[in-house]
Structure 1
Amino acid sequence: MGKSKEISQDLRKKIVDLHKSGSSLGAISKCQKLPRSSVQTIVSKYKHYGTTQPSYRSARKKPLLQTRHKARLRFATAHGDKDRTFWSNVLWFNETKIELFGHNDHRYVWKKNGEDCKPKNTIPTLTHGGGSIMLWGCFAAGGTGALHKIDGIMRKENYVDILKQHLKTSVMK
């Protein structure tokens, strides 16, 4: 279904005035030669927002650099000129979720018309994704540190416990 023609601001005001004067939505739609649904939408939006101005706006574009990206860039520029001894004392750590059957996202295939259900165009799935595992790990200039399996959902309390238990042993390596 295509986009209908925009209703002018004057006509919107006229519809609201007719409704305020007691005319029914059906009578207004016949009088103005508009679909009843359009008249109803204009009146209900006027009641909700208090104006007959169209409420659509273009979406704000998502910034390419998020806060975490900017923080990484600040860190890199602040510490980029450090010598090897500095970097040999840095321990990097992070957590990650690994899906049992690949990534949990949309997958695309090239297909011809009428080939929707052919095996080469389908991807086998399991209920609830088949499971996943969450891991915490770390590394430094001297090699890898501890790798810890996280049970359940990662919360700040769990993260603090992991740091208390595994960070010290990883630093000693």
Structure 2
Amino acid sequence: MATKDYTMSNQLRHNCVSVTMTKKKELSHDLRTHGVNAHSGGKGYKAISKELDVPVSSVQSIIKMFNTVKNLDGCVRKRKVSSRVTRKICRHANNNSRITTKALIDTLNQAGETVSRFTIQRILQGGGLHGHRPRKTPLLTQRHRDARLAFARGYLDRDTNFWSSILWSDETKLELFGYMDVAYVWRKKGKAFNPKNTIPT
């Protein structure tokens, strides 16, 4: 019987070494299972420690603190913002892509929530919303779009000789909708040309 236990202990220690090569602070699953079963069978911490060749503190951690043989998640700091507030922030940014973090902070302060600018940015980025400069597009109605599409299709098959005879006129920059150098929008990937994420020029 003693020989069998000695052989099992050697095998378990071998498994432990192979596991600790990758996870230094975790004992192997077989080793922990054997320790828990041995304690359930009436053995003390020191006897189990000597049998498995591990510190007594490790045996105590397995049996007392963890009370399980599973790998437990690491200690994670509690989230500062609840899931309800997170959804509220993302909803505001989805409804108004031009809203600023300062405006979001003011809105949350009125509701009794104190959140920093960096926390709001992390929440929005976690929801797939990233700050981008809005694409500048002409201010067109649907009638304009239809007319331009028909015009483009009419000249689709023209050769290079035709286009070389065209004199392209210059365009003057007129900012009819205020300064556009500091404008940002919160949008998801692939939504750059959504009308609410563009600036008319």
Q: TM-score, normalised by structure 1?
A: 0.34
Of Structure 1 and Structure 2, which has the larger fraction of its residues in strand?
A: 1
Bigger RCO (CA 8 Å, 6+ sep): 2
Q: Which has the larger radius of gyration?
A: 2
